[in-house]
Chains A and B, each alone.
Chain A
Amino acid sequence: MTLPRREFLKATSGLLTGLVVAGSPLALIARGPVWAVDLTVFTSSEAATLMIVARTIIPHDKLDDAAYALVIQAIDRDAANDETVRKMMKSGIAGLGSGFTGKPESDRVEILKEVEPSEFFQTMRLKTIQVLYTTPMAYAYFGYEGEAFSKGGYLTRGFNDLRWLPEVPLDDSGPMPL
């Protein structure tokens, strides 16, 4: 992942890395076989915990770690820009207790339910949803084709290709403009 110059000039606190899995949606868009996300506030261990938190809140098992890593990077950036966010996140991570990452999903869900009203949890939930579904990896994973203007819209690319229901009579629909 490319980072703005400003981020490079800061001391790096941690790193999230991974391999691009062959055949995954990420493989279609990745530039190389490995990816890495630089962090300025969280340690590698804290970031790894946040990755598991994000994966517990919004679990898409087959969606690549790289997409979740972008969530953590966005939170890291917020924490770098705001001391109160940094403190809140750090204490939130500590509040999960030791061994959180190694626990089975059902246990992790229980732990997160206990902290659900907290700012830490609500920030993690909102940020995960806000960032995860905007990533190119998520677009590819969910089959979402995104903006269509550059490709001439969906008019000739499947906006009406559904065939498992009856066609709508012309009176209640309308003619193709082309």
Chain B
Amino acid sequence: MAKIDFSDGNAVVIIGSGAGGGTLAHELTRRGIKVVLLEAGKRQSLESFSQVPGEAFAQLTWLDPRTQSGDWRGARDFPPLPVWHCKTVGGTTVHWTAAAPRLQPWELRAKSIYGNVAGASLIDWPLSYAELEKYYEIAETRLGVTRRNGIPGLPASNNFKVMYAGAKKLGYKQVHTGHMAINSRSYDGRAFCIQQGFCIQGCKMGAKWSTLYTEIPSAEATGNLDLRIESTATRIEHGEDGRVNAVIYHDSQGREQRQKARLVCVAGNAVETARLLLLSESSKFPQGLANSSGQVGRNYCHHITGSVWAIFDKPIYSWRGATLAGVVEDEVVNQPERGFVGGYRMELLTLDLPTLPLVGLPYGWGRDFASIMENYRNLAGMFINGEDMPRSDNRITLNSNVKDAFGLPVANVHVDEHSNDQAMRKHAKGQMAKMYEAIGAQRVIPGPTPPATHNMCTARMSADPKDGVTNAWGQTHDIKNLFVSDGSVLTTPGAANPTLTIVALALRQAEHISGEMKAGKV
């Protein structure tokens, strides 16, 4: 591993080691570029992943304080945990459930296709699907996505058999075990999936793609990566010329450090990425970095989510098998006659015994709540993953009333749901209930909206600098050597789980950065 000097002004500093940052680190280092990778969390391994759900949650989750506001149910049901992502080497790719679908071509043209939606801040993506598709193909090969490139699907679990039977009764056609970044057979030196059902706790087989044991070791092998763990970035500095030139961070010993940089890429997940840009305000950039448009932190999207459970009279043992390996894709269409614009997926879901009552079931207690749990063996589950509407005031801001361990304002996550979101969720929950009822469910239980795991659009790519924060390469409109490299750059969320798109954009961004550096432009 490289040891890059604090005063080395030629280093690229990447903040965050997840799908975006980890992939970018590999892509830059293999091109001979020296990279300092700052990761706030610790480094786990296949051996160290805890298989006790509560312990694994504490081991992997970003638990630093945050606040939230707005009328969304997450604010009421999970006040201390508005979003659920990781703080560990590999970022959220350590706990992700590995659904890796593509966005549909029309989803990149949300404004043109959906038209003017009152109360929404829709824009079109600044790049075409044809352009993105090239990188989807590379990303799918990199991740070993099932049902692509001749890689077979995962075998059907009990939970999926229930979903499949119900979906077919309703006439759905596109129903399968998903495009998963989980090995259905050994691939890329990693083992195949043995159906543990512990995707969220970290895959001890390494069958699920994570930058922790793919991109990051590959980057280390180049000799160009300086990975610094337990290192929390608190500020990005700039010179009088307005270009960024250093990152301030707290290291594992709690000491403040300053790493000089030629170029900075922020990939801290959409909430922290926006927060760091806002925290880096200066007399030259009083609204925060890259924020002359005022768009940093705005248009926050997190997908329409929500589980639906069904109790049957026979055992399912849904916990046996890959957590999310099953999907119905027929509703990923724009049919305004359903009462909303945009589409949604229905994806398989199971939760382990301790986690189900905490995040999977609606608030309750007494005989009724206990009776659902009494049927744990006979429970089938799925959830909706749908496109939510960007809104200008759904945003990440700094909350000066609450401070983190370094005395800095925490992020506040504000969401007021759009009526389109509510109409879509209602439709999806109705369809999921119908699927289960069609095959004899005794009872259907709609779950709450869980803490958001897909955090997007807070530094969105836009053709017009007034509408967003970055251009089509994730390069900020305001500062040529400042990039955003995570889900924050998605222009709109679409209905696809975001990781594959984040990886595709990181691959594309790496080419751009490398070219710009060679040309001496950054």
A residues contacting B by CB (< 8 A) are 56-60, 109, 125, 129-130, 133-134, 138-139, 142-150, 152-155, 157-162, 164-168, 171-177
Complex interface: chain A residues within 8 A of B157 (CB): 159-160
CB of B373 within 8 A of CB of A60, answer yes
> Would you call B196 and A149 a contact (CB within 8 A)?
yes
Residues of A within 8 A of B153 (CB): 172-174
Q: How far is the CA of A177 from the CA of B205 in the complex (A)?
A: 14
Report which of B366, B376, B439 forms a contact with A165, defined as CB distance below 8 A.
B439
The answer for the CA separation of A145 and B215 in the assembled complex, in Å, is: 33
Q: Contacts A60-B370, A173-B155, A177-B193 given: A159-B353 contact, CB under 8 Å? A: no
Contacts of B186 in A (CB 8 A): 177
Residues of A with C-beta under 8 A to B337: none
Given A145-B320, A162-B316 in contact, is the A168-B160 Cβ separation under 8 Å?
yes
**Size of the chain B interface, CB-CB below 8 angstroms:** 56
> Taking chain B's interface residues, is the majority helix, strand, or loop, or is none over half, making it mixed?
loop
A158–B320 contact, CB under 8 A?
yes
Measured between beta carbons, the chain A residues less than 8 angstroms from B234 are none
- For A125, the chain B residues whose CB sits under 8 A away are 365
Q: Cβ of B294 < 8 Å from any Cβ of A?
A: no
Contacts of A152 in B (CB 8 A): 194
What is the CA–CA distance of A145 and B162 in the complex, to the nearest angstrom?
20
Q: Output the nearest chain B residue to A128 by Cβ-Cβ distance.
A: B365
Q: Which residues of B contact A147 (CB under 8 A)?
A: 51-52, 196, 198, 201
Count CB-based A-B contacts (< 8 Å). Answer: 156
Across-interface contacts of A57 in B (CB, < 8 A): 365-366
Q: What are the 8 closest A-B residue pairs judged by CB atoms, nearest first?
A: A153-B194, A174-B153, A147-B51, A154-B320, A173-B156, A162-B158, A159-B321, A168-B156
| Residues of B participating in the A interface, judged by any CB pair closer than 8 Å | 51-54, 146, 152-158, 160-162, 164-165, 175-177, 184-186, 192-198, 201, 204-205, 314-317, 319-321, 352-354, 356-358, 365-367, 369-370, 373-374, 376-377, 439
What are 24 A-B contacts defined by CB distance under 8 Å?
A57-B366, A58-B373, A109-B366, A134-B54, A142-B353, A148-B195, A148-B197, A149-B196, A149-B204, A150-B51, A153-B196, A153-B205, A154-B197, A154-B321, A155-B193, A155-B195, A157-B320, A158-B317, A160-B321, A165-B439, A171-B176, A174-B155, A174-B184, A177-B192
Cβ contact within 8 Å between A174 and B358? no
Instruction: Give the docked Cα–Cα distance between A172 and B179 (Å).
Output: 11
A168 to chain B, nearest CB (A): 4
State the CA gap A147–B196 with chains docked (Å). Answer: 7
* A152 CA to B175 CA, complexed, in Å: 28
* Contact (Cβ within 8 A) A176 B155: yes
B320/A164 in contact, CB under 8 A: no
Tell me the dominant secondary structure on chain A's binding face. Answer: loop
Shortest beta-carbon distance from B470 to chain A in Å: 38
Contact at B369–A165, with CB atoms within 8 Å?
Answer: no
A125, A155, A159, A166: which has the most chain B beta carbons within 10 Å? A159
Chain A residues within 8 Å of B51, by CB? 146-147, 149-150
Give the residues in chain B near A161, CB-CB below 8 Å: 158, 317
Docked Cα-Cα span, A172 to B193, in Å, equals 17
Complex contacts, A60 vs chain B, CB 8 Å = 370, 373-374
Q: How far is the CA of A168 from the CA of B184 in the complex (A)?
A: 16
A157–B317 Cα gap in the complex (Å)?
Answer: 11
A173 to B510, CA, bound (A): 35
Chain B residues near A134 (CB-CB < 8 A): 52-54, 353-354
Is the Cβ of B370 less than 8 Å from the Cβ of A174?
A: no
- Whole-angstrom distance between the Cβ of B67 and the nearest chain A Cβ: 18
| B319 and A144 contacting across the interface, CB-CB below 8 Å | yes
A159–B198 alpha-carbon span in the complex (Å)? 13
Residue from A149, A160, A175, A176 within 8 A of B158 (CB atoms)? A160
Known: A144-B376, A153-B195. A130 touches B358 (CB 8 A): yes
Least CB distance from B412 to A in Å reads: 23
Smallest beta-carbon distance A12→chain B, Å: 26
Q: By the criterion CB–CB under 8 Å, are A138 and B353 in contact?
A: yes
What would 10 more interface pairs be, CB under 8 Å, given A133-B354, A142-B353, A146-B353? A130-B354, A144-B319, A148-B194, A159-B320, A161-B317, A162-B317, A172-B177, A173-B160, A173-B176, A174-B155
> Chain B contacts of A149 at CB under 8 A?
51, 194, 196, 198, 204-205
Could you say which of B161, B193, B365 contacts A58, with CB atoms under 8 Å apart?
B365
> Inside 8 A of A150's CB, which chain B residues have their CB?
51
